Chain A
Amino acid sequence: DAKTTQPPSMDCAEGRAANLPCNHSTISGNEYVYWYRQIHSQGPQYIIHGLKNNETNEMASLIITEDRKSSTLILPHATLRDTAVYYCIVRVAYTGNQFYFGTGTSLTVIP
Chain B
Amino acid sequence: DADVTQTPRNRITKTGKRIMLECSQTKGHDRMYWYRQDPGLGLRLIYYSFDVKDINKGEISDGYSVSRQAQAKFSLSLESAIPNQTALYFCATSDSMNTEAFFGQGTRLTVV
Identify the A interface with B (CB < 8 A): 34, 36, 41-46, 49, 87, 93-104
Contact = CB atoms under 8 A, between A and B. Distances in A.
Given A43-B106, A101-B42, A103-B41, 16 more contacts: A36-B101, A41-B106, A42-B106, A43-B103, A46-B102, A87-B42, A93-B97, A94-B98, A95-B98, A96-B98, A97-B48, A98-B33, A98-B58, A99-B33, A99-B92, A102-B42
Interface residues of B, number: 27
Contacts of A101: 35, 42-44
A104 B43 CA distance: 10
Q: For chain B, what secondary structure do more than half of its interface residues adopt (helix, strand, loop), or is it mixed?
A: strand
Given A100-B45, A101-B43, A104-B42, A44 B103 contact: yes
Contacts of A93: 97-99
A43 B100 contact: no
Please list the 9 inter-chain residue pairs (A to B) with the smallest Cβ-Cβ separation, ordered nearest first. A43-B103, A101-B42, A101-B43, A46-B100, A103-B42, A98-B45, A102-B42, A44-B103, A94-B98
B74 interface: no
A34 B92 contact: no
